Structure 1
């Protein structure tokens, strides 16, 4: 065996083995001291990434379990308070039944009523003061509660706790629209024979320019079964003025009633704004004229049971100028069914136009009707104290126009959380060829002032026409949907105008029915755009079933409760079942009940039964959510357990294996050290050769 002194290869090998066994000893010591197999990314890069994701999931699941338990605590707090509210209502019902008994005099019932009123106050106190973690639970302000019950985003369970104060409890659950409609009549041009115009298939009767508007209304009331008529005249500003009057400036308003009598009002005195002017008009006209500011900042004037209103604005302060407008005839369907207007065998298109379909100045557009599908709608007078929304009284001056009602509701929207706006919906029944190219010219249709190009082609399906409308939705605010052979046009802007700017003889083949709108609908007519291949012949029919609407929207997401005054008929204000608005309700609340008479006690029993039903429903929903959360917690705990086991198999150290590795590394360390010492001594053997 050769001997070298410059390079000691056995020593180098022993050093390397010593370093290797030292690394194994360090790794085994680290794992045994930490209990983890992976202590740094170098130990297992993929395993570290997987274990970290599992750690995120496990910690998220564990927090979700705590969240669910917090949700159960909130629910149990609310449910406990509701149990006491139930006990209070049961006692109130007991007192109401006792008061309904005929043996008590007024003094006895007054004593019973005193306890009822105290219980109502306690009901409100519970609703106002019951809270969890600083949040009130039963006053209606809690809104949607979303519990994060998962380890990932948007894994939630949501629920709501409705208000259970006395203003809310006891109300019914019917949904409601405020409905109204109108048609414009040109009295000076009307000359009707007995069967010229039919409403719901019944003749309106003869009428000429010597008759008054009241005569026409009487004809409708007398001759048309199920339909009642009244009049309303509205004057809307086309631009916004300041409304500021100096001490010397005046505005003159002249109102002509249904029999032709005129009454003039001179509005004088200083005002500082358009709203001041509106308030002054309301005060100075003794309720005959109703003034309001609409959503566009314009002054709107309305007069019930009148045929004409004229405004003279010499100082241009109102934004209207010198303006005159005729009355709209309001037709109310007593049964809630649509109203159909048609001309009879002897009638002409002009008869329909003069009765309500009057030509405008642009593109042969005819102002159409707004007929209700409900009884007595939004044009009925809304008086002070008649209406409350979410417990807030709509204490505006007596209002008998849609504009006034919208303004009255929106004036208190901050308190109610409810806004009002108009809606429009037009349904067109289409069959056959819808539009066809005539004389090679390009067809187009005008909707809300925008020309929509139909490409000069023949259109035979509603889908193509709907697509053309929807391409212009951003400009017109109108969307179109196909419902079988019908085309549904919808808008939140309050009116839908259909017309044409084409000079060609565009034709609409088929019938136009079911047109729905806010206060007026515009349907093109005449040579440019007709409802048949030619101008309507004698005996033709225009059938319109129109619903005007005032839409209430909750800005908070909470249900809308509508409460009527004691002497207010819901049907008269249009607050009857119509389109579903989602939680709107009306009736008498617990706050309004008393048992001071037998009659009131009987009413109180029904109201309390409604209130108990509401609380029972709320408690049932909360109980269901509680049980659901119990199952959620069980499932989350199970998933967390299995995820922890999976992470343990990846991350945790196996002590049996690691102690064996430690023992091996320790032996190797000692052996390597001994061998290294011997290897380092080998070069010294050369010295014996040199002796």
Structure 2
């Protein structure tokens, strides 16, 4: 028998320490609910799950970003809803002003309301904000392609319509205006009798423009059957033109009281500054962005303010009638912008659903790696606890074994 080295006690102590450590780890897992509490628990699992956590947090934040973007879009779209209402009222006033039964007092009242409505369109465009960002003043227009100038495919009058030639003048292609050629004399018995002098000098035509972007003095008869618009700005001197090709029969069809109406919309330059565009981060990773552009919704950009800064002039029947087309164009532009915002909002709603689904699936994957199976771990804890108690009992037995040596000393 030996007493210097109690190997039975050492063995029992070693196993008790192991069982105590395992029971402690099981208790830690049970109390935290996590299978991996430190890298030593599962080094590879920790690295994988941490990447998943980064993705989950990113997806959740991207979902919140998308919700913020929807809120911004709803703010802009709500403001444009009011702009639409204003434009509809302006159109109603233009139609009212186009009726020549109005007196000068009536027209003054109409003009006063048009002036105030135009100011309100600008106020909405300049003050609508989301998180202090102005939305409708053109600051967020961002990247857009160049839009060609639009010319009515036909010039219309009471007894028919006439085809228009292409816009070949660069200056004219960047003009927004409505040109009205009023027929003042019912004298077209022979279209070929028209001279090549300016329309104003024939006494047969009265030309007016609504915004003053086209010089009405440059509307003239050419070759007896063509009405030509040359140049755009009131000070321009370009040679190229728009031609209305009129046959003799169409000339004869023009009667006193008819009006040929031509609508021009200026060519819009391309926007290339991406910093002006809202960049919505709609993914967990770099580059997963959505550009949201909102155009300038002010009265000048909508084409309902004259070049001198005044509101549309509804002081006469002719100008009121021409203003209808301009207001129609403005309504169409606002409708297009609202439609685009609505499309982006619908896309973002699908984006949010996708992000939430992806986040949920990743959380499920992370849970399988990081979370502890409580039932299994409770079994392990119970086993380790029993083994610890058994090892403690054996240590007590091993400790008392050397005491038998005392029997030899008696």
> TM-score, normalization: structure 1?
0.39
Deviation at 1:102, TM superposition (A): 1.6
1:690 CA drift (Å): 3.3
2:121 aligned residue: 123
Which one has the bigger helix percentage?
A: 2
Cα pair distance change 1:678/1:66, threshold 3 Å: same
Specify the alignment match of 1:157 in structure 2.
Answer: 290
640 and 591 in structure 1: CA distance in 2 versus 1, 3 angstrom threshold: farther
Contact residue 34 and residue 370 of structure 2 kept, 8 A = yes
Query: Runs of at least 4 residues of structure 1 off by over 6 A?
Result: 586-590
Question: Is the 1:18–1:673 contact (alpha carbons within 8 Å) kept by the matching residues of 2?
Answer: yes
Say if 1:64 and 1:149, in contact at 8 Å, map to a contact too: yes
The match for 2:301 among 168, 174, 178 is 168
What do residues 71-91 of structure 1 show as CA deviations (whole Å, max 9, x unaligned)?
A: 000000100000000000000
Aligned match for 1:146, one of 272, 279, 284: 279
SS where residue 146 of structure 1 aligns? strand
Call closer, same or farther: CA 1:591–1:158 in 2, change over 3 Å.
Answer: farther
CA distance in 2, matches of 1:135, 1:9: 79
**Aligned pair in 2 of structure 1 residues 63, 673: CA closer, same or farther (>3 Å)?**
same
Bigger drift between 599-608 and 75-84 goes to 599-608
2:311 corresponds to 1:597: no
Deviation of 1:152 (Å): 0.5
CA deviation after TM superposition for structure 1 residue 128, in Å: 1.2
Alpha-carbon spacing, 1:632–1:48, altered in 2? closer, same or farther (3 Å): same
Do residues 672 (structure 1) and 391 (structure 2) align?
A: yes
Question: Which of the residues 50, 60, 66 maps onto 2:64?
Answer: 66
Matches within 5 A, 1:388-399: none
Aligned to 2:48: 50
Deviations 1:463-487 (A, max 9, x none): xxxxxxxxxxxxxxxxxxxxxxxxx
| Pairs within 5 Å for 1:426-445 | none
Alignment of 1:151-300 (within 5 A): 151-170=284-303
- In structure 2, the partner of 1:402 is none
**Which residue does 1:646 correspond to in 2?**
365
Q: Residue 669 and residue 79 in structure 1: after superposition, are their counterparts in 2 closer, same or farther (change >3 A)?
A: same
1:596 match: secondary structure: coil
- Within 5 Å, which residues of 2 pair with 1:563-602? 592-602=311-321
Asked which structure has the greater RCO (Cα within 8 Å, sep 6+), the reply is 2
CA separation in 1, counterparts of 2:308 and 2:372?
68
Looking at structure 2, the residues matched to 111 and 645 of structure 1 have their Cα atoms a distance apart, in angstroms, of 68
Whether the 8 Å contact between 2:306 and 2:312 is mirrored in structure 1 is no
Cα deviation, residue 599, structure 1? 1.6
Q: Secondary structure at the match of 2:292?
A: strand
Q: Does the aligned pair in 2 maintain the 1:590–1:611 contact within 8 Å? A: no
Deviations 1:171-222 (A, max 9, x none): 8xxxxxxxxxxxxxxxxxxxxxxxxxxxxxxxxxxxxxxxxxxxxxxxxxxx
1:269 — aligned with what? none
- Preserved contact between residue 94 and residue 320 of structure 2 (Cα < 8 Å): yes
- Residues in 2 aligned to 1:663 and 1:591: alpha-carbon distance in whole angstroms: 88
CA contact (8 A) 1:595 1:601 kept: yes
The equivalent position to 1:613 in structure 2, one of 313, 316, 332, is 332
Shift of 1:69: 0.4
More strand by share: 1
Within 2, Cα distance between the matches of 1:65 and 1:107? 57
Q: Say which of 375, 379, 382 aligns to 1:660.
A: 379
**2 CA distance for matches of 1:83 and 1:654?**
55
Partner Cα distance (2:310, 2:323) in 1: 10
Aligned counterpart, 1:89: 87
SS at match of 1:167: helix
> What is the TM-score with the length of structure 2 in the denominator?
0.65
CA–CA separation in structure 2 for the residues paired with 1:108 and 1:75: 39
CA RMSD of aligned residues (A): 1.7
What is the match of residue 103 of structure 1? 101
Q: Is there any run of 5+ residues in structure 2 with no aligned partner, and where?
A: 141-275
User: For residues 149-175 of structure 1, what are the alpha-carbon distances to aligned partners after superposition, in whole Å with 9 as ceiling and x for unaligned?
Assistant: 11101111111111111111028xxxx
